[in-house]
Structure 1
Amino acid sequence: MKILITGANGQLGREIQKQYGKTDVELLLTDVTDLDITDVLAVNKYVSENKPDVIINCAAHTQVDKCESQLDLATKINTIGPKNLASAAFSIGAEIVQISTDYVFDGEVDKNLTEFDKPNPKSVYGSTKLEGEKLVRALNPKHYIVRTAWLYGDGGNFVKTMLKLSKDHDELKVVNDQIGTPTSTVDLARVIIKLVREKNYGLFHCTCKGVCSWYDFALEIFAIRNINIKVTPCTSEEFPTAAKRPKYSVLRNYMLELTTGDITRDWKEALKEYLADLDA
């Protein structure tokens, strides 16, 4: 099997490479310098020449606040890019994996959201990702759309930011009124690979298990590392951002539970392993 990974240098792309590296799968690895997914001619040419069996699209404009002032760029990368890849994949009978986000929901309701809950994005990032979902679904029946949240892995992320800040600060303020689930790229990559192996097409939520705030997340990071630092909870209003964040965006892996089985771990267990790997 031949698999094309776009955005291969990002956190998720690196982890998928790592896990597939233990198999006999042939990987085609691209980033924006190798393949601009917003260029329909370039995408069609690359896909027709290389003929992957599966395209895993890890490319995205994920700088949520910048998306607010970069509507055209966000639309090109998060909406047009997936459209191009889905269409090119369909033309050769290939499958496509599209990574999406909890930001497709408004986060105004305190309930764990399933794939059957109605999206209502409140940010440019969320709306462009949702439109990308719709086009992938419309253009290629062999699709896996996987929504995730609060992702961390091999790259810049909240965990590394907290560890870095703890070296220079005796006290930190962390938002306590945004609720979600920290998710390891290890767990997400395992699920994606399982979906592809089983040809389990459709829309899926995939986060680690459990619920916490960013404040709780920070406390757990410091507790595992035995870092003595004062962490004070604060509100989102104390740290205003250009993009509106969902207040409650806990995704329930409902379709995984009902179909292939939910193999994700509790977020604390996954975090502990991640921090141990950082030490190693």
Structure 2
Amino acid sequence: MMEEFVKETLAQDVGRGDLYALVEPSVAATARIIAKSDGVAAGVEYINILAKLEDFEISWNVHDGESFVKGDVLANISGSSHVLLKIERTLLNMLLHASSIATLTKKYAEIVEPYGVKLLDTRKTRPLLRVFEKYATRCGGAVNHRMGLDDSLMIKDTHLKTIDDLKIYIKKARNRIPFTAKIEVEAENFETAKEAFEAGADIIMCDNMTPEQICEVVKYRDENFAHVLLEASGNISLQTIESYAKTGVNAISSGSLIHQANWIDLSMKMD
């Protein structure tokens, strides 16, 4: 899957071929990837695949998940000039996209770490980039939430509108879905959360609740259903995430890790 992604990404840029290569002969060349802003590295795994496919050498000074500062040389590259010039934009786009997500994710992860709370991403990813973007959040310190509809059963508010009896539905689901699949129910208030506890949910998402409302759910969970995991979600930001981490939930999910990540600044310089 990763190799196909890299091939398609490069093909999108190269098209029928780099016109520069029609004019100048290829020569031995070297280049450096330079950080023009601080950040967290991500994308190394994908770029190593690109190097193998296009037959150039790359020596990394950082690895996925490691921090760097402005001015750092992240990698040294060598190969034919035609190859290095052909892969430049593809390499930088993958490194920039992933590192930018990892950089923002790490800011969130550092805030919740003292509270023992897991930071989760969401399915709010760009079309066809889910695997790549969720890889980037892992590099920044997050844990992936479900990859898709097929790896856990999540009953959202939209689903609840179609379910007459949640307890009966969950009982039926246990006999239909894989034995290892968890069932998570989204709750926007205490009453819905209470219903989900009693219906047998494995995880309850406290969606768009205030920290005070979540504390009430946590207290009820601790006193009656200690085995059930709690997740906070909904409009979580860098400014508010600590107040949610203090509530006693097991995890906090935020789509912002991906869709609010602004690109950092990296460049490739030929020697």
**TM-score normalised by structure 2 residue count:** 0.25
Greater C-alpha radius of gyration: 2
